[in-house]
Structure 1
Amino acid sequence: MVGFDQFSGAKKYIVSPELKSIVNVAIALERPLLVKGEPGTGKTLLAHAIAESLEKKLYIWNVKSSTKAIDGCYIYDTVQRLNDSRFGSNSRNVDSVEDYIVMGKLGQSFESDEQVVLLIDEIDKADPEFTNDLLQELDIMEFYIQELQKTIKAKHRPIVIITSNNEKELPDAFLRRCVFHYITFPTPDLMRSIVQVHYPRIKEILLENCLSRFYLLRELNQLRKKPSTSELIDWIGVLMKAGLTEDDVRDKIPFLGTLIKKEIDLNYLQKYKQELIGLVKDN
């Protein structure tokens, strides 16, 4: 594929060949890329990596349960206009509605003089109607400001990355407009490369011991929340700052609370501590 900026990864974001390919497909097709995967697999950081790699500005729209689609387009600040009409304003013209129109992240990306990367993060947190209300904006890249009777069209179609934790089903009409990719959990080989990017001076024996313990924990089906990539990076960072060596990780898992974040999981591991130690020694 030629004729457009191609993504090849970033300094601290290692991508699989499949992910790299699908990002470039989405850019070439000018379609939003919907990314799913378990927490900690780098869905959100992908947008940061794309912006860094392609040297483009990044706009982040963090979606909450109360978020409405119109919020990403623009907000008409009626409260501020009312206050200014009562108490006066040195910077705004109370008679001008346009002075009280504030662009949201989608609107800002449309008005940018250069192509940007737009991250719509955790879209499944919002009301089910949220995605339906975004269909036109993401498809034809324009929206209408009722208060100004004005249509805002994108000067440059942004590279749109949408993340979902799969908490809610997304409508078929929305899915048809997206390119989709599920980020599978990194293999030990890929994880090794990821860790070495963050800790280039880590000793090979320590790295192998850490990876062995990490994947051992992930194999325990009894855990409600299995440790993620970000937690592995944090854990290794704690080990190195504490000055621990491969010997300290050989027969135990220090600072377990860095990897395990649910009380019920910690209680389970404490209850079966001897069995866990046996598994660690075997690995």
Structure 2
Amino acid sequence: MEKKWLVIQLVVLVLIVAVLLAVQERRFNAQQALLSEQGRQIASLKSELASVQDKTIAALTDKQAGESPQEPVATGAEVEARLEQAEKTAEEASSKVQEMLDEQNLLKELATDMQDRKAQRQIATMMQARHEKILDDDIAAHGKELYELYKKSLPKEGVMNLFDGESDTAFKELVAKYPTAQTTAVAVAERALACAARQDTEGATEYYNMLMNGALDDTVVTSKGVEATPALLGYFTSQYARNGDYAQAQEMLNYLSENYTDSTLALRGPGGEPVYSTVDDFVQRMGNEINRSQR
């Protein structure tokens, strides 16, 4: 129910932003039209001022020649005053146009951000569905004991020790009784990623090797909606790059590109939630960072 309400709120916000963009666009077009009209008026006044100046010069010439000068229809001062006012109005209109353009850009950025958030939610929902299917299929194939062992084996959140005696016992029993079950692979992945989240590279590597070297499925998705192996490889790549081992980091990127190009890679977000990207995007971004660091 809460997820449904959040989706409704997001849709409403997107609609509001769309309406605001439409209103802003109409106001922007109106100001652009006003600015164009002011530009035409300024051009006309400049032309008129030039004409008055020419007539004034002609009048002075006639006066010097003893002829009766023709009075100009308006004095130069009058036209200059009108021109100054028109230029001031045009400057104000131009300033308003720029303000509206800035507001439009902000609204477009907000709309893009909302679309990104919506896409992130959609990916998270899809990943959660994959995780649930793994559990459901294994419960149907092996019975509920497997699921109970899996739940007990999960890392403990918010405490010093990720794995206590109960979770370790359940984990060992799960691996012994169901060595090839997908849920067992999920349990291994949960432990690897929990270690990675705490920057415990040694622990993450231990469980990663267990996931890769056994008969387990390395494409499983964890309870947080994270596809195990790409996420772990992303973590190891970041660690290698942070430690200055750029050759090993690049090797990891190459391995990701060759084997997981169709996968979704999730990294830990600011609040601990997964932030999704394609493997190709991650490889390109990390590759650029590595190149910059080596200069």
Q: Give the TM-score taking structure 1 as reference length.
A: 0.26
Structure with bigger RCO (C-alpha 8 Å, 6+ apart): 1
More helix by share: 2
Structure with higher Rg: it is: 2
More strand by share: 1
